[in-house]
């Protein structure tokens, strides 16, 4: 079952991402602050609507309420189809290439991320080899434009060149850091770098 409104979907996505990043759920006040809402009661109404649709549950603990995202039970042998959108450089940035081929991926590789939020890219180069991301591998990418410092991201440079690196922010600059001792990180103005997705897993072709 899906959220009834766009705002409910946004709140559910925010709670899911928050739990993935921090290991615990956000408070109503944190959710309200994130969405620029002054009243926690407004957030409570959205939470109640999500709960009624079976997408969230609230569990009481020491007089307080905690949120729990409902995760569908998926068989261990389940698979899903993801679009293979092209290549991404684990080396010198290259122009993005759109292949748009579907690939079959074991569902468990995506963790709690829904398949519709994930796409695949073929890795080119060895700048992330210390993370065991090798040339020819298939990177599974969550379609997200926000990233924490230290996450492996697909970064689009100058709107055209895509690369897979760890991202760190330094004031008005962004550092794209490889995982290869032979290569140096690259710093660029933040305005030149767009996050296109977050690395979530890896599929290594057998042939």
Catalytic residue among 38, 52, 127, 181: 127
Query: Could you tell me where the beta strands, DSSP code E, fall in the chain?
Result: 56-61, 64-69, 79-89, 94-95, 101-106, 118-124, 138-142, 152-157, 161-170, 173-177, 186-189, 193-203
Catalytic residue among 70, 76, 100, 165: 165
Residue 176 burial class via C-beta count within 10 angstroms: exposed 0-12, middle 13-18, buried 19 and up:
buried
Q: Distances in Å between the alpha carbon of 25 and those of 56, 91, 115?
A: 11, 36, 22
Q: What torsion do the CA atoms of 106, 107, 111, 116 make, to the nearest 10 degrees? A: 120
Known catalytic membership, residue 100:
no
Known catalytic membership, residue 124:
no
| Contacts of 187-191 spanning 24+ positions with Cβ under 8 A | 188/157
Catalytic (active-site) positions:
127, 165
């Amino acid at each position: 079952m899906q959220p009834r409104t766009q705002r409910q979907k946004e709140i559910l996505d925010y709670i899911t991402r928050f739990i993935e990043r921090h290991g615990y759920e956000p408070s109503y006040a944190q959710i309200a602050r994130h969405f620029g809402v002054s009243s926690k009661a407004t957030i409570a109404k959205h939470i109640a609507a999500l709960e009624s649709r079976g997408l969230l549950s609230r569990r009481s603990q020491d007089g307080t309420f905690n949120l729990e995202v409902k995760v569908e039970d998926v068989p261990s042998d389940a698979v899903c189809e993801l679009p293979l959108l092209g290549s991404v450089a684990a080396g010198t940035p290259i122009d993005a290439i759109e292949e748009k081929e579907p690939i079959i991926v074991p569902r468990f590789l995506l963790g709690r991320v829904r398949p519709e939020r994930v796409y695949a890219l073929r890795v080119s180069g060895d700048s992330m080899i210390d993370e065991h991301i090798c040339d020819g591998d298939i990177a599974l990418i969550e379609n997200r434009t926000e990233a924490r410092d230290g996450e492996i991201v697909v970064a689009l440079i100058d709107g055209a060149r895509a690369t897979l690196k760890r991202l760190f922010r330094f004031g008005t600059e962004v550092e794209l850091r490889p995982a290869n001792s032979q290569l140096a990180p690259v710093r660029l103005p933040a305005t030149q770098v767009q996050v296109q997705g977050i690395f979530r897993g890896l599929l290594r072709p057998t042939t």
